[in-house]
């Protein structure tokens, strides 16, 4: 491999090499003299040698992009031969057992384009330290198992930065010379440095109050740029709901006197749970009915909940090392999913979460980036904030919940928080606590943390009419993944039931049981193959498996179409009911050419859709989900070689056929759901808008004047962003002659609102039109776009590369070359974001030879680029590997 001599080969970090810290930091005092171009940071580290550490062992402090101005020990300048500085940081020798190290550094926040460490966003100072950003602020043992009490003083110009925030509580403040002022903050809870935060700037805020279950009063603040002050109410209401929910469901109370949230426009990820001072990507805070869609409202509630829940699952109990990331992320995603399910519709939430998992995580698990929920090596840890660690990690916790039941699960969580409060621990400690609290063994279950890949569950059934027994044989198999050729069998909870020919649920008596135990139960598959025999079954039943999607596996069961139709009409588990309909549609889409998807062939699906549309008793949101055809990304998981145009063509053909076959029904449903009252983001209202906009989406597929008029009318009269954007999207993806005019109108109306402009960019990037690549290329030069802002990169470039398969995978290879070039440019400024965009190339082996060559060429160019970042190198190298 031809790497430039000046680019050191990235180092791989292994879980097996973990060593506890040799030195502890008991307390740290930080003093910031804030200036966008030259910020001075003075740090006072109260260190202590760990008991197990031999005297003479040097203290290693991580540091990156820092200018060292001075270093002293216990008040005396440190001699030059007592420390050594290199790219990785600072090594200090011959230290006493305890003492005080004082280090002064200079950093340049305004020049920090990586958005890791201390940087500026819209002229305000903010930080992002997880995973390894703190080392870009000052020299420090930047690892989560070093926990210290932080006291932070911020000094800044008072007119530029009237607001000065850090973790914990303000303990002192005052005026300084030259129009500067200061505030000192103290965080009483020891924490790893990845939870450190500071914010300084000219911000407005809203305030509220929450009284905890035990009567503690907590002041709540949301800080934003002043022009956004009218978009904070939903976030605040969500925060209060989250605080209440964690008390009710987990018995967890908040522990400081204040909880602060700050929204910034430039942020690599979604949000960050810094102790007492969460920093958010503004897209997960700001909402007003005319600027945010229903799904924005949902996401805000979910992410606000997520970061709040981290206060216990992440902050009070944190991770020993970054291999344990899912300890906090998997658990916290599970917690936020359940919170959202309780606040809205449980069925809709579950189907949404399963969709994300199966479309994105299954794909990751089947490709070269596959890794266990607990990875065992990495080059750049930021590459492992993945759907596997987050979403599959949440499924693993969900399975524990399913296997133990809610009470035992809660007992186990109580034990975990009690045992490990104030500690940095491992996923094993979590499972141990669940075991200990309930006297059970989860030995085999631990495979879910260590083995990558999506297990396949194959089901064979046998009905014996003489004996009136029904046997289900379950067999599991997990494909090989990089570095793991053979796998141990998993412990798989299979929630199931049986239905008779009329769709009625049957009582379930397993062989050897005296009587039936309910109509839904959880089978535990632990061997490679097991058979479960049900008794008293008078006629061949229809089995229902994986209710609630009880395990993250692929199910193979040879359902007859009539059985799927029966389940899609009668099953009461929302996931299995929806899944039956999706399976019917998927079979049509994958086994017939687009032009065959008409007439007789699709009649059963048409009837099922008609039935769903008319089923007034069914929640409109569930009806909308059932009437939405499986996505192209999900369908791609079922073919050997992905032909994007073919999948897209089939899906479009079926959508058009359903549109025409049910035209009066779509229209009637659309009209019946017309609403006039004020906007509310609640689940019921959002569900009605979702179904109505889905009707519009089918109607526009008819491509006629009446449909265009309907969409144009909705665009003009919409009073909320959900309806406005749905109409715009329908028009942009149609041949309506006014498409361009409406797009222009939207931009001129919203150009001052950066989050709305993001929607405008995404819409164009995902449009299924032949000129989309040209348009996306042109938009990179539009004033609305900037490579400096991650949201813009995600809205335009990632939306195109990962949300527009037909455009990106264009046979000419132009899409690959364009995105590859953007990634290389971006890598020099923001490696984390560049690496995330590069994921679009990871699955290159799934395409035909011409596409493989085009994608591989880009990966090689990225990997071999002079000065390539660790982040991008790792993605490219693993993908090619
Ligand atoms: N802990 C944050 C969350 O999920 C994510 C921060 C990740 N940041 C990063 N640069 N990798 O809530
Ligand atoms: Zn998180």
Low-confidence ranges of the chain (pLDDT < 70): 1-8
**C-alpha to C-alpha distance for 317 and 423, rounded to whole angstroms:** 5
Query: Among this protein's residues, is 364 annotated catalytic?
Result: no
* Strand, coil or helix: 460: strand
Q: Is 131 in the pocket of ligand 1 (CB under 6 A)?
A: yes
Radius of gyration of the chain (CA): 28
Binding site membership of 272 for ligand 1 (Cβ less than 6 Å): yes
Distance 304 CA to ligand 2 centre (A): 10
Looking at residue 7, its pLDDT comes to 57
Do 208 and 220 form a contact (C-beta atoms < 8 A)?
yes
Instruction: List residues bridging with 524 in a β-sheet.
Output: 493
Distance between CA atoms of residues 440 and 127, nearest Å: 43
Q: Is the CB of 382 under 6 A from ligand 1?
A: yes
DSSP 140: B
457-555, what's its fold?
A: Immunoglobulin-like (2.60.40)
Ligand minimally distant from the alpha carbon of residue 382: 1
- The helix/strand/coil state of 526 is coil
Do 181 and 221 form a contact (C-beta atoms < 8 A)?
no
What angle is formed at CA 431 by the lines to CA 427 and CA 432, rounded to 5 degrees? 110
Distance in angstroms between the alpha carbons of the first and the last residue of the chain: 12
**Residue from 114, 261, 272 to probe ligand 1 pocket by mutation (most atoms less than 8 Å from CB):** 272
Ligand 1 neighbourhood includes 315 CB (under 6 angstroms): no
Candidate from 194, 385, 874 with most ligand 1 atoms within 8 A of CB, to mutate: 385
Ligand 1 in reach of 307 Cβ (< 6 A):
yes
Ligand 2 geometric centre to CA of 196 (Å): 15
Task: Give CA–CA dist 792/368, Å, rounded.
Answer: 28
Distance CA 468, CA 540 (A): 9
The atom number, within ligand 1, closest to the CA of 381 reads: 11
Domain ranges (residues) in the chain: 320-450, 457-555, 559-702
333 CB under 6 A from ligand 1? no
**CATH homologous superfamily of 559-702:** Peptidase M1, alanyl aminopeptidase, C-terminal domain (1.25.50.10)
Residue 111's φ and ψ, nearest 5 degrees, are -95, 5
- Looking from the CA of residue 310, the nearest atom of ligand 1 is 12
Give yes or no for residue 268 CB within 6 A of ligand 1: yes
Question: How many angstroms is it from 213 CA to the middle of ligand 1?
Answer: 29
Q: How far apart are CA 790 and CA 268, in angstroms?
A: 6
- Alpha-carbon distance of 619 to 218, in angstroms, equals 37
Long-range contacts of the stretch 598-606 (C-beta < 8 A, 24+) = 598/653, 598/657, 602/654, 602/657, 602/658, 602/661, 604/561, 604/565, 605/654, 605/658, 606/658, 606/661, 606/662
Tell which atom from ligand 1 comes closest to the C-alpha of 306.
12
Which run of H or E residues covers position 22? none
Q: Name the catalytic one among 114, 307, 338, 395.
A: 307
CA–CA separation, 32 vs 105, rounded Å? 10
Tell me, in angstroms, the distance from the centre of ligand 1 to residue 708's CA: 42
Backbone angles phi, psi at 830, to 5 degrees: -145, 85
Residues 6+ positions from 698 with CB-CB distance below 8 Å: 655, 658, 659, 662, 666
Are 261 and 233 contacting, i.e. CB atoms less than 8 angstroms apart?
A: no
CB 508 within 8 A of CB 498: yes
What distance in Å separates the CA atoms of residue 401 and residue 407, rounded to the nearest whole number? 9
Nearest-atom number in ligand 1 for the CA of 268 is 10
List Cα–Cα distances, 673 to 608, 664, 683, 727, 740, in angstroms: 20, 14, 15, 15, 28
Q: d(Cα 368, Cα 359) in Å, to the nearest integer?
A: 16
Instruction: Please state, in angstroms and rounded to a whole number, the distance separating the CA atoms of residues 296 and 753.
Output: 15
Neighbours of ion ligand 2 (CB under 5 A): 329, 332
The H or E element containing residue 799 is helix 799-803
Instruction: Report the C-alpha gap between 609 and 811 in whole angstroms.
Output: 35
> CB–CB of 105/41 below 8 Å?
yes
Backbone region of residue 867 per phi and psi (left: phi > 0; alpha: psi in -120 to 50; beta: other values): left
Q: Are strands 554-556 and 456-464 parallel, antiparallel or unpaired?
A: parallel
Neighbours of 510 (CB within 10 A): 13
Q: Whose CA is nearest to atom 3 of ligand 1?
A: 272
How much distance in Å is there from the Cα of 328 to the middle of ligand 2?
A: 7
Q: Which residue's CA is minimally distant from atom 7 of ligand 1?
A: 130
| Cα angle, residue 113 at apex, residues 108 and 118 outer, rounded to 5° | 50
- Which ligand has the nearest atom to the CA of 336? 2
The gap from C-alpha 336 to its chain's centroid, in whole angstroms, comes to 11
CA dihedral (784, 786, 791, 796) positive or negative: positive
Q: What is the percent of the chain where pLDDT is above 70?
A: 99
Which atom, in ligand 1's list, is nearest to the CA of 116? 10
**Substitution candidate for ligand 1 out of 192, 269, 303 with most atoms within 8 A of CB:** 269
- Give the model confidence (pLDDT) of 165-177 as tens digits: 999 999 999 999 9
Q: Which is it for the CA torsion 342, 346, 352, 356, positive or negative?
A: positive
How close is the Cα of 847 to the center of ligand 2, in Å? Answer: 33
**CA distances (Å), origin 779, targets 122, 739, 764, 772, 813:** 22, 17, 9, 10, 19
Helical H runs in 701-798? 705-717, 721-732, 739-750, 754-765, 772-779, 790-792
Task: Give the side-chain half-sphere CA count within 13 A for 382.
Answer: 24
Which CATH number is 320-450's, of 3.90.920.20, 1.10.460.10, 1.10.390.10, 1.10.10.410?
1.10.390.10
Q: 271: CA distance to ligand 1 center in Å?
A: 7
Helical packing angle, 233-250 and 406-420, nearest 10°: 100
Of 119, 272, 114, give the one whose Cα is nearest residue 832: 114
Atom of ligand 1 at shortest distance to CA of 133? 10
C-beta separation of 229 from 206 below 8 A: yes
pLDDT at 9: 74
DSSP string, 330-355: HHHHHHHHHHHHHHS-HHHHHHHHHH
């Amino acid at each position: 491999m031809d790497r430039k001599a000046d680019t050191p080969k990235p180092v791989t970090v292994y879980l097996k090499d973990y060593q506890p810290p040799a030195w502890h930091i008991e307390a740290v005092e930080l003093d910031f003299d804030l200036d966008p171009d030259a910020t001075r940071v003075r740090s006072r580290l109260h260190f202590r040698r760990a008991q197990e550490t031999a005297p003479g062992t040097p203290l290693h402090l991580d540091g990156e992009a820092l200018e060292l101005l001075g270093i002293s020990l216990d008040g005396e300048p440190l001699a030059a031969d007592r420390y050594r500085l290199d790219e990785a940081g600072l090594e200090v020798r011959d230290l006493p057992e305890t003492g005080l190290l004082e280090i002064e550094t200079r950093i340049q926040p305004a020049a920090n384009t990586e958005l890791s460490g201390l940087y500026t966003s819209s002229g305000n100072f903010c930080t992002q330290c997880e995973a390894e950003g703190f080392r870009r602020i000052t020299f420090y043992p930047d690892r989560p198992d070093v926990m210290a009490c932080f006291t932070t003083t911020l000094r800044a110009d008072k007119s530029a930065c009237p607001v000065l925030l850090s973790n914990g509580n303000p303990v002192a403040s005052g005026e300084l010379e030259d129009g500067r002022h200061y505030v000192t903050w103290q965080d009483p809870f020891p924490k790893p440095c990845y939870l450190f935060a500071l914010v300084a700037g000219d911000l407005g805020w809203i305030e509220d109050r929450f009284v905890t279950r035990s009567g503690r009063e907590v002041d709540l603040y949301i800080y934003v740029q002043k022009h956004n002050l009218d978009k904070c109410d939903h976030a605040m209401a969500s925060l209060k709901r989250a605080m209440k929910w964690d008390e009710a469901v987990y018995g967890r109370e908040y522990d400081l006197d204040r909880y602060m949230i700050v929204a910034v426009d430039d942020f690599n990820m979604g949000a960050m749970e810094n102790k007492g001072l969460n920093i958010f990507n503004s897209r997960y805070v700001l909402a007003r009915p005319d600027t945010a869609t229903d799904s924005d409202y949902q996401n805000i509630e979910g992410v606000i909940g997520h970061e709040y829940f981290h206060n216990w699952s992440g902050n009070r109990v944190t991770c020993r090392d970054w291999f344990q990331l899912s300890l906090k992320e998997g658990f916290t995603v599970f917690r936020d999913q359940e919170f959202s399910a309780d606040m809205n519709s449980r069925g809709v939430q579950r189907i949404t979460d399963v969709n994300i998992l199966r479309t994105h995580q299954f794909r990751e698990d089947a490709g070269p980036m596959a890794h266990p929920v607990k990875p065992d090596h990495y080059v750049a840890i930021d590459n492992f904030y993945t759907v596997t660690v987050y979403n599959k990690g949440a499924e693993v916790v969900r399975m524990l919940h399913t296997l133990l039941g809610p009470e035992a699960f809660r007992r186990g969580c109580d034990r975990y928080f009690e045992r490990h409060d104030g500690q940095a621990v491992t996923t094993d400690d979590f499972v141990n606590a669940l075991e200990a609290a309930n006297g059970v063994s989860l030995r085999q279950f631990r495979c879910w943390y260590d083995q990558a890949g999506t297990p396949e569950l194959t089901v064979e059934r046998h009905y014996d009419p003489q004996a009136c027994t029904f046997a289900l044989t379950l067999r599991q198999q997990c494909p090989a993944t990089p570095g793991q050729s053979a796998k141990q069998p998993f412990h798989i909870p299979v929630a199931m039931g049986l239905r008779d020919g009329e769709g009625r649920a049957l009582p379930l008596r397993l062989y050897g049981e005296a009587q039936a135990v309910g109509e839904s139960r959880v089978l535990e598959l632990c061997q490679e193959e097991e058979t479960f025999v049900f008794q008293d079954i008078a006629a061949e039943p229809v089995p229902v498996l994986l209710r609630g999607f009880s395990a993250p596996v692929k199910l193979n069961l040879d359902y007859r179409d009539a059985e799927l139709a029966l389940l899609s009409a009668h099953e009461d588990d929302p996931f299995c009911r929806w899944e039956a309909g999706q399976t019917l549609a998927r079979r049509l889409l994958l086994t017939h050419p687009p032009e065959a998807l008409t007439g007789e062939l699709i009649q059963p699906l048409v009837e099922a859709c008609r039935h769903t549309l008319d089923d007034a008793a069914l929640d409109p949101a569930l009806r909308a989900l059932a009437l939405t055809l499986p996505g192209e990304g999900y369908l791609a998981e079922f073919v050997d070689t992905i032909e994007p145009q073919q999948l897209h063509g089939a899906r479009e053909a079926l959508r058009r056929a359903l549109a025409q076959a049910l035209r009066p029904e779509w229209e009637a449903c659309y009209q019946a759901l017309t609403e006039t009252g004020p906007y509310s983001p609640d689940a019921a209202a959002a569900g009605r808008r979702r179904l109505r906009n889905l009707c519009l989406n089918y109607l526009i597929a008819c491509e006629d004047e009446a449909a265009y008029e309907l969409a144009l009318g909705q665009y003009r009269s919409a009073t909320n962003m959900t309806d406005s954007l749905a109409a715009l999207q329908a028009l942009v993806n149609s041949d309506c002659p006014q498409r361009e005019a409406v797009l222009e109108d939207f931009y001129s109306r919203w150009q001052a609102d950066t989050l709305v402009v993001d929607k405008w960019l995404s819409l164009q990037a995902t449009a299924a039109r032949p000129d989309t690549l040209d348009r996306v290329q042109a938009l990179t030069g539009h004033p609305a776009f900037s490579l400096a802002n991650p949201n813009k990169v995600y809205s335009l470039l990632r939306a195109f590369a990962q949300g527009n398969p037909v455009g990106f995978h264009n046979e000419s290879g132009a899409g690959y070359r364009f995105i590859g070039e953007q990634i290389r440019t971006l890598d020099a400024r923001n490696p984390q974001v560049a690496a995330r965009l590069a994921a679009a190339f990871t699955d290159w082996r799934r395409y035909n030879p011409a596409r493989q060559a085009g994608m591989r060429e880009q990966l090689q160019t990225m990997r071999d680029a002079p000065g390539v970042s660790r982040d991008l190198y790792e993605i490219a190298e693993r993908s090619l590997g």
